[in-house]
């Protein structure tokens, strides 16, 4: 497991933000542990927070979503960032220790984008085909494994020179929330093939596919750039397929749409401490959600933000 630690000194001018705390000058330290997919966004928030209140210190540790429940349960973090929801076991472990469940706050929307090298003529892929490339079980209905590009589109691959090449499948490591989302939704709860190359970060996947014409990969939408070609994703063979964009993510029509989360330890009936409350409020503010869009994710609409504010009031 690879740990990526970014330490940002941060601050917040409360009077300038909607629904901000009236606690006055903020100081102290706050730690956010968890998702690699969310880490760049959290770091942007922390940097903007710094511009407003230099007496507060924020540490962002991006070790994967799987690290967040453990850190929150052990009291080693103030906020756990996750690109998937906590599973039943993780929630039960927290409840057994504290007697209540962690508070889950939706902070943005995301999509897991499947992509190939720009020279690859493939423009669309189905869930069953993706499953046949990545999984050992093919629970989504594919009759056989897909190992070569010719198995996916023989005519297109003959024109591109990919027909004779084996598919290099690249993905995330098991501690990643993205790994789990793909396993559940694109592999129909199957298991990944041992041959899949697993990277600890989204950027490494994009870089690998950008350098290899025979590669296919997936990553959070906020990390996908012009070095790779996103594929339209179809639920069934008869469907045209849908590209991930703000509209398809917001309305849920893109098959691998998901929410991004903050988890906090808030005892029922107790007020959340000033610094974590102010930071979460900033993330949900108009300015914070503008940064969501700038990082390539999809911001929450006003009604969704109001519902999340209510969880920390």
Per-residue pLDDT reduced to its tens digit, 185-227: 999 999 999 999 999 999 999 999 999 999 999 999 999 999 9
Statement: residue 155 has pLDDT above 80: no
Statement: residue 123 has pLDDT above 90: yes
CA proximity to 30, closest of 72, 50, 59: 59
- Residue whose token pair is 């010719």: 150
In this prediction, residue 15 carries a pLDDT of 29
- Classify 196 as helix, strand or coil: coil
CATH assignment of 4-110+259-310?
Answer: 3.40.190.10
Average pLDDT of the segment spanning 86-92: 97
| Chain segment 235-285, per-residue pLDDT in tens | 999 999 999 999 999 999 999 999 999 999 999 999 999 999 999 999 999
**The two domains 4-110+259-310 and 111-257 share their CATH topology (first three levels equal):** yes
β-sheet bridge partners, residue 262: 81, 105
For the chain, report the end-to-end CA distance as a whole number of angstroms: 36
Confidence label for 51 from pLDDT (cuts 50, 70 and 90): confident
In this prediction, residue 12 carries a pLDDT of 31
- Dihedral Cα 246, 251, 256, 259, nearest 10 deg: 80
Statement: residue 44 has pLDDT above 90: yes
In this prediction, residue 50 carries a pLDDT of 83
Q: Which fold has domain 111-257?
A: D-Maltodextrin-Binding Protein; domain 2 (3.40.190)
Name 167's Cβ contacts closer than 8 Å, sequence gap at least 6.
133, 146, 147, 148, 149, 152, 214, 215, 216
Confidence label for 66 from pLDDT (cuts 50, 70 and 90): very high
In this prediction, residue 154 carries a pLDDT of 65
Helix-strand-coil percent breakdown of the chain, rounded to 5?
A: 35, 25, 40
In this prediction, residue 140 carries a pLDDT of 97
Statement: residue 2 has pLDDT above 80: no
Average pLDDT of the segment spanning 145-167: 82
The domain locations on the chain are 4-110+259-310, 111-257
What average pLDDT is seen over the chain? 90
Statement: residue 6 has pLDDT above 70: no
In this prediction, residue 161 carries a pLDDT of 81
Task: Tell me the CA distances in angstroms from 188 to 128, 158, 179, one per residue in order.
Answer: 9, 30, 13
Statement: residue 4 has pLDDT above 70: no
Q: Do residues 113 and 230 touch, judged by C-beta distance below 8 A?
A: yes
Q: Do residues 23 and 274 touch, judged by C-beta distance below 8 A?
A: yes
- Residue whose token pair is 């469907």: 239
* Sign of the Cα pseudo-torsion (126, 129, 134, 138, in order): positive
Helix (H) or strand (E) holding 259: strand 257-264
Confidence label for 228 from pLDDT (cuts 50, 70 and 90): very high
Token digits for 85? 């929801």
């Amino acid at each position: 497991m690879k740990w990526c630690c970014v330490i940002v000194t941060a601050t917040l001018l409360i009077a300038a933000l909607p629904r901000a705390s009236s606690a006055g000058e903020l100081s102290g330290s706050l730690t956010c542990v968890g998702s690699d997919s969310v880490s760049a966004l959290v770091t942007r928030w922390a940097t903007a927070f710094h511009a407003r209140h230099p007496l507060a210190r924020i540490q962002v540790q991006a070790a994967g979503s799987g690290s967040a429940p453990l850190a929150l349960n052990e009291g080693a973090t103030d906020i756990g960032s996750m690109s998937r929801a906590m599973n039943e076991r993780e929630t039960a472990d927290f409840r057994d220790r504290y007697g209540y469940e962690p508070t889950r706050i939706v902070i943005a929307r995301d999509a897991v984008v499947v992509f190939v090298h720009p020279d690859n003529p493939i423009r669309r892929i189905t869930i069953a085909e993706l499953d046949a490339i990545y999984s050992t079980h093919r629970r989504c209905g594919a009759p056989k494994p897909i190992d070569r590009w010719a198995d996916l589109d023989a005519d297109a691959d003959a024109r591109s020179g990919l027909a004779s090449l084996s598919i290099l499948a690249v993905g995330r490591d098991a501690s990643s929330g993205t790994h789990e989302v793909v396993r559940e939704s694109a592999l129909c709860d199957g298991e990944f093939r041992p041959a899949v190359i697993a990277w600890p970060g989204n950027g490494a996947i994009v870089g690998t596919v950008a350098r290899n014409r025979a590669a296919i990969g997936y990553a959070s939408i906020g990390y996908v750039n012009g070095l790779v070609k996103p594929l339209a994703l179809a639920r069934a063979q008869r469907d045209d397929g849908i590209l991930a964009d703000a509209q398809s993510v917001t309305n849920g029509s893109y098959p691998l749409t998901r929410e991004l989360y903050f988890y906090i330890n808030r005892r029922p009936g107790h007020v959340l401490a000033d610094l974590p409350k102010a930071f979460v409020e900033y993330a949900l503010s108009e300015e914070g959600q503008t940064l969501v869009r700038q990082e390539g994710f999809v911001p929450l609409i006003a009604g969704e933000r109001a519902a999340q504010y209510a969880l920390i009031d």
